Structure 1
Amino acid sequence: MLKKLSPGLKALAALIVLVLAVTGMRLTALDREPPRIEIMALSRTVKNGGCAAVVIHLAEENPGVIRLFDSAGGVFFPAVFRTNSYYLCLFACPAAESNYSLWVIASDTEGNCVTNKIPVVFEYVDYPKGRVELKGGFGNDKLAEMGLPESGLTGTNLYAYVQSCFLAKTAADPLKLSLGPVPAIRGDFRFPVFLPLAKPVVTSGFGKTREYYFKCKKMKQSTHYGVDMIGTLHDTVLFSAAGEVVFAGYNGGWGNTAIVGHGYGLYTLYAHCSEVTVTNKQAVFPGESAGYTGATGEVEGEHLHFGVMVQGVWTDGAEWMNPEWVERQINSVLGKASAMITARTVQ
C-alpha cells in the first residue's frame, strides 16, 4: 500500500506511527484536545537546493513529538528555541525537486495529534548542465594517493578502476552524518556568514549536473552539491562557526575532508584538502583552520569544495556565504520570534 503513496505521505504515515509509539497509543485518554500549533516566524521562500527557517509555538501542557515533513519524503527535527514550547527548525528542499510542500505534525502525551501545512513559498531553480573533458588524471598518481599499488591498466580501464577504488575508500557518507535530533537553543542566537577562504574566487557553483568524458567516452554523470573555490596555493581553510568535527580524514573521491556539525541540523564540509589539521570530535571555533586547499580525491586541479547540509539535504553553500541572504532568510526569522517570545515573557 505504501508503494502507492507519495514520499510526503509516506513520511506522514511513518511519523504518525512514531507519534503513537512514543505516546503509548493511549487513545482512550480523557484529554481529547489536540495541541495548538502557531507559526510564529517563517522564511518567505525556499528554492530547490535551498534552506529556510521556521519558529513554531506548540501550545500544549504535555507535549509529545513534534516533527516537520515534506513532499520529498524528508523529516526534520526541530530544536527547543529559547524556552520550552517554542521550536526552531531549519529545513531544506532537495535540488532535484520541481515543487515543494511542508507540514508540521505534533502530539501530546495522551496520543492526540495535529498536522498543519507550513505556508512557505517554493521558488524553482533550473540548474545548468555541462560537460567536463578529463585531461588524463585519476591514474596511478591517485592510486598512490590512496596507498594502493599501480594496477597495470591504461586508458578508460584505469579510470574505471580508480573510480572503484575511490568508492572503496569512502569512509563516511556526509548526508548520513547530518541526520538526527538537534540540541536545544537557549538564549538569543544568530547564524554566521560562512567564508571558507579569506579571499575566495568561486569557480563552480551548486546544482550543476555534469557529464564526465575521458577520451571521448562518457565515464559518469553527477550533480555538484557544493561550491568550488580557489585562493592562494595551499590556502588556509577557515571555520566560520563553532562546532564539532564529525569526520576528519581521507574520504575517497572527496579526498582529505573535514565535516563539522554546528548544531541545529547545520553541517559544513571541506573537501579535496592537501591536509586536514583537525581530528574527530574536536571542538572548533570561528577563525580556526580546518586545513589547506589541495587536489586530493576525484579532482584534477587544486581547489576547495565547500558543502552545506541541513538534516540530510545538500543546500547551496553560496547562500550561506551571502550576508544579505543569511540575514533575510535565517536571522530575521529568529529575531522576529525572539522579540515575540520576549514580549510574552514580560507580560
Structure 2
Amino acid sequence: MRLSPSTDTLRASRNRSRRRGIFAVLALAGVTFAGLGALRRGPLPAVEVNAPLGALGRATPVEVAVSAAGRGMSRVEIELEQSGQRFPVAAEEFATPPGWKLWAAGTRQKSWNLTLGKDSLPQLAEGPVTLRVVATGAGAWLRPGLAATSEQVLPLRLTPPSLEVVSTQHYVTQGGSEVVVYRVGATSVRDGVEVGDWFFPGAPLPGGGERDRFALFAVPWDVADSAATRLVAADEVGNRREVDFIDRFTPVALAHDDIELDEKFLARVVPPILENTPSLTSKGNLLDDYLQINGDLRRANADELRVLAARSRPEFLWKAPFLALPGGQVMSAFADRRTYFYQGREVDRQVHLGFDLASIAKADVPAANGGVVVLARWFGIYGNTVVVDHGYGLMSLYSHLSSIDVAEGDAVGRGSKLGRSGTTGLAGGDHLHFSFLLHGLPVRPVEWWDAHWLTDRLKRKLGDALPFAG
C-alpha cells in the first residue's frame, strides 16, 4: 500500500525547488555581470582636430575634441612628431565605470584648446609636423579599450613673407593721403599699411605681376609723426615683416575755433535729430540732448563710416580730377578743433573732420567724381547725407542736404547732381559739409581736389594702373 506524502513534505519540496531556481538565476546573473565586466568595452571614440589656420607658427591655436558614447573615454594623448622625435603636448586619464554597470556613464566629451608652435616647443624646426591624437575608449577586465588615432600633418612656418617696396618718394602730410607700391612673398595673406590702430589693406596692382600690390593710405589728423606708419605683410600663422618706408612727413598745425551755443540753435537742430535717430533717448533738456548728439552720436556715425568702407569696390571708379562745390567758400577747414560754450561756460570739445562750404541757399551739390552711391539717407549728426564710393577704399561724403536726388546703388558721374545744400543735422546755416574718407578715415580734401597732387603723388607711382588723365 502506497502512502501519500504529507502536506509538510510537499511544501518543503516546493521550497527547495524555489531556492534552487533563485540560486540558478543569481548564478546566471553573476556569470552575466562577470562576463560584462571581463569582456564589455566601450565603442571606438571619435576624434576631431580643428587647426583653422592650416599651419603652425610660433603660437597657433588648435582645438582637439574627443567624444565616446556609453562608458566614455579612458585616456587621451596628444603629441607632435617631427623627424622621428615625439613631443608630448597633453595627456589625460578618465575614470570609467565597470562594464557590468549598464546604467553608468563616464566622460563622454572633452575638448582641449591648445596653443602649439615654436614658442611652447623650442625644439621644433621649420617644416612639416605631425599632430597626433590617440583616444582610448572604456576597456574591460580582459579586453583593453578601443583606441582611435587621428593624425594631421601641418607645416610649421617661422619665416615672415618677403616684402619689397617698389615705389619711391613717399611724402605724406598729417591728415593727408599717399600710395605705396610693393611686392610680397607667396605666403602673404594680409598686407597693407598700418598707422597706429588704422589698417589700410593692400590690393593687387592692376596690370602688375602676381605679387605686385599697392595700398592707398593716410596718416590720421591726430598723429603728429610717421613713427607708427609701417608697411606690413603677414602669413596665416602671424609671421609678419614690417618695413619703414615714409621718406618725408609734414606735420600740420591744427586750427582752433570757439562755438557759442544758444537756445534758438539747440531748439532747431536737436528735435529733428532725435526724431530721425531711434537709438537715442532724450535726456530731458536741450543741452544734454545736444551733448549726447555731438558726442555719442558723432562717434557712432564715425564707426558706421568705418564699417561702410568694407563695401568699397576693388577698382578705380574715377579718371579725372575731383570737383569741389562750385563757388563754395570755406567756412570751416579740415580738423578744426572746436570748443563749445553755453552761457559762457565750456560744455564740449570735438574735432571737425571735413570742409564746410557755402555758396547760395539750396545750391546744387555735384558728385566730386565718378563712383557708386553707398549711402543716401538721414545720417545722424550729418542730417541728409550722400556717400559716394570711388573705389579702393576712397569715398566722398556730402551732408546737411536739404534734398537728396540719388539712391543707394546708383552709378554717378563726375558732376552728377546728388542733391541740394541745406541745414539738416548739426548745421548752423545752409552749407555743404564735405569729406573725403579713406577706409573710413576722414582725410584732407585739398589734396584730392589738386590735379597736380594726383599726378605727382599717385599717378607717378601707379602708372597705367591708375586711369587718370590729369
Structure 1 length-normalised TM: 0.77
Q: 3-state SS of the aligned residue for 1:119? A: coil
Asked whether 1:106 is paired with 2:233, we answer: yes
**Corresponding residue number in structure 1 for 2:56:** 25
Q: 1:185 to 1:270 in 2, by over 3 A?
A: closer
Q: Report 1:1-347 matches (<5 A).
A: 22=53, 24-25=55-56, 28=127, 29=155, 35-58=161-184, 60=185, 62-82=186-206, 83=208, 84-101=210-227, 102-107=229-234, 113-143=240-270, 145-146=272-273, 148=275, 157-164=285-292, 172-173=301-302, 174-180=304-310, 183-185=313-315, 192-335=320-463
| CA displacement at 1:57 relative to structure 2 | 2.1
Flag structure 1 segments of 5+ consecutive residues without an equivalent.
1-19, 150-155, 339-347
For 2:332 and 2:296, the matched residues in 1 are separated by 26
Deviations 1:208-237 (A, max 9, x none): 101112321323211111011112221111
**Corresponding residue number in structure 1 for 2:70:** none
Count of aligned positions:
309
Flag structure 2 segments of 5+ consecutive residues without an equivalent.
1-50, 58-125, 128-154, 277-283
314-323 or 275-284: which moved more?
A: 275-284
Q: 1:117 to 1:191 in 2, by over 3 A?
A: farther
For 1:158 and 1:30, the matched residues in 2 are separated by 61
Deviations 1:67-110 (A, max 9, x none): 23434222111111113321121111111112223222224679
Query: What's the RMSD between the two structures over aligned residues?
Result: 3.3
Instruction: Tell which structure's C-alpha radius of gyration is larger.
Output: 2
Q: Determine if contact 1:52/1:92 at 8 Å carries over to the other structure.
A: yes
Q: Determine if contact 1:255/1:271 at 8 Å carries over to the other structure.
A: yes
218-227 or 282-291: which moved more?
A: 282-291
| CA displacement at 1:205 relative to structure 2 | 0.8
| CA displacement at 1:168 relative to structure 2 | 8.0
| CA displacement at 1:146 relative to structure 2 | 4.0
For 1:178 and 1:243, the matched residues in 2 are separated by 15
Q: 1:168 to 1:103 in 2, by over 3 A?
A: closer
Q: 1:139 to 1:116 in 2, by over 3 A?
A: closer
For 1:30 and 1:139, the matched residues in 2 are separated by 62
Q: Determine if contact 1:47/1:124 at 8 Å carries over to the other structure.
A: yes
Q: 3-state SS of the aligned residue for 1:41? A: coil
Q: 3-state SS of the aligned residue for 1:130? A: strand
Structure 2 length-normalised TM: 0.58
For 1:146 and 1:224, the matched residues in 2 are separated by 18
67-76 or 272-281: which moved more?
A: 67-76
Deviations 1:293-324 (A, max 9, x none): 11111121111111111123221112211222
Q: 1:330 to 1:163 in 2, by over 3 A?
A: same
Q: 1:131 to 1:37 in 2, by over 3 A?
A: same
What one-letter code is carried by the residue in structure 2 that aligns with 1:54? V
| CA displacement at 1:329 relative to structure 2 | 2.0
